[in-house]
Amino acid sequence: MRTAYRIETVRAAEAALMAKLPPGALMDRAAAGLAAACAGLLGRGRVSGARIVVLAGSGDNGGDALYAGVRLARRGAGVTVVRLGSRVHEAGLAALLRAGGRVADDPYAALARADLVLDGITGIGGHGGLRPEAVPLVRAARESGAVLVAVDLPSGVAADTGEVAGEAVRADATVTFGAYKPGLLVDPAREYAGAVRLVGIGLELPGEPDLEALQHADVAGLLPAPAAESDKYGRGVVGVVAGSKRYPGAAVLAVAGALRGGAGAVRYVGPARDEVLARFPETLVHEGPPGEAGRVQAWVIGPGLGDTPGLDEVLAAEVPVLVDADGLGLLDPEAVRSRPAPTVLTPHAGEAAQLLGTSRERVEAGRLAAVRELAARFGATVLLKGSTTLVAAPPPGPGAGGDGPASGGAVRVNPTGTPWLATAGSGDVLSGLTGSLLAAGLAPRDAASAGAYLHGLAARRAARGAPVAALDVADALPAAWRDVAGTEPGD
Contact of residue 9 among K ion, ligand NAX, ligand ADP, none (CB under 5-8 Å per partner type): none
Among the listed residues 33, 194, 366, 427, the single contact to ligand ADP using CB under 6 A: 427
* Closer residue to ligand NAX in complex, CB, 177/247: 177
C-alpha pair distances (Å), 140 with each of 108, 121, 148: 7, 14, 11
Up-side HSE of residue 146: CA atoms within 13 Å toward CB? 28
Given ligand NAX, ligand ADP, K ion, none, residue 14, with its beta carbon under 5 to 8 Å by kind, binds: ligand NAX
Distance between CA atoms of 79 and 100, rounded to whole angstroms? 8
| Interacting residues with ligand NAX (CB under 6 A) | 14, 18, 26-27, 30, 57-62, 64, 85, 121-129, 131, 151-152, 177, 201
Quick one: what does residue 387 bind among ligand NAX, K ion, ligand ADP, none, with the CB cut-off 5 to 8 Å set by partner type? ligand ADP
**In angstroms, rounded to a whole number, what is the distance separating the alpha carbons of residues 80 and 104?**
6
Nearest to 374 by CA among 387, 384, 389: 384
**Residue 446 marked ligand-binding:** no
Hey, how many other C-beta atoms are within 10 angstroms of the C-beta on 163?
Answer: 20
Whole-number Å distance between alpha carbons of 343 and 360: 23
- CA distances 370 to 15, 218, 292, Å, are 31, 25, 36
- Is the CB of 93 or the CB of 438 nearer to K ion? 93
Which 310-329 residues touch ligand ADP, going by CB under 6 A? Answer: 325
Cβ closest to ligand ADP, residue 65 vs residue 480: 480
Residue 425: what residue type?
A: G
- To K ion, the closest distance from the beta carbon of 360 in angstroms equals 29
> Which window, 65-73, 123-131, 396-404, 411-419, contacts ligand ADP (CB under 6 A)?
411-419
CB–CB of 427/348 below 8 Å?
yes
Distance CA 74, CA 472 (A): 54
Check binding of 354 to ligand ADP (CB under 6 A): no
Q: Is 123 labelled a binding residue? A: yes
Q: How many CB atoms lie within 10 A of CB 462?
A: 25
Answer yes or no whether residue 134 interacts with K ion by CB under 5 A: no
386: amino acid identity, one letter: G
Can you tell me whether residue 176 is helix, strand or coil? strand
Rounded to the nearest whole angstrom, what is the least distance from the CB of residue 57 to ligand NAX in the complex? 5
| 151 vs 322 by CB, closer to K ion | 151
Quick note: the x/- pattern for K ion over 85-124, rule CB under 5 A, is ----------------------------------x-----
- The answer to whether 300 and 239 are in contact (CB under 8 A) is yes
Q: How far is the CB of 424 from ligand ADP (least distance, A)?
A: 4
Q: Which span (52-60, 283-291, 305-313, 380-388) binds ligand ADP, by CB under 6 A?
A: 380-388
Q: Which of residues 443-472 bind ligand ADP (CB under 6 A)?
A: 455
How far, in Å, CA of 120 to CA of 277, rounded? 60
Rounded to 5 degrees, φ, ψ at 179 are: -165, 150
Of the pair 55, 314, the CB lying nearest ligand NAX is at 55
| Beta-carbon contacts of residue 262 (< 8 Å; ≥ 6 apart) | 223, 224, 235, 236, 436, 437, 439, 440
Confirm or reject binding of residue 188 to ligand ADP (CB under 6 A).
no
CA distance 215 to 384: 19
Q: Rounded to the nearest whole angstrom, what is the least distance from the CB of residue 181 to ligand NAX in the complex?
A: 9
Min. distance of Cβ 97 from K ion in angstroms? 21
Residue 306 burial (CB < 10 Å; 0-12/13-18/19+)? Answer: middle
Of the candidates 451, 448, 470, 410, the residue with the CA atom closest to the CA atom of residue 182: 410
Residue 89 annotated as part of some ligand binding site: no
* Choices 24-32, 97-105, 237-245, 382-390; region in contact with ligand ADP by CB under 6 A: 382-390
Minimum CB–partner distance for residue 70 and ligand NAX (Å): 13
Stretch that binds K ion, among 137-145, 149-157, 177-185, 385-393 (CB under 5 A): 149-157
Q: Which of 174, 343, 416, 426 binds ligand ADP (CB under 6 A)?
A: 426
Instruction: Write the single-letter amino acid at 143.
Output: E
Residues near K ion (CB under 5 A) are 119, 150-151, 155
Contacts with ligand ADP by CB under 6 A lie at: 325, 348, 385-387, 389, 417-419, 421-422, 424-428, 430, 455
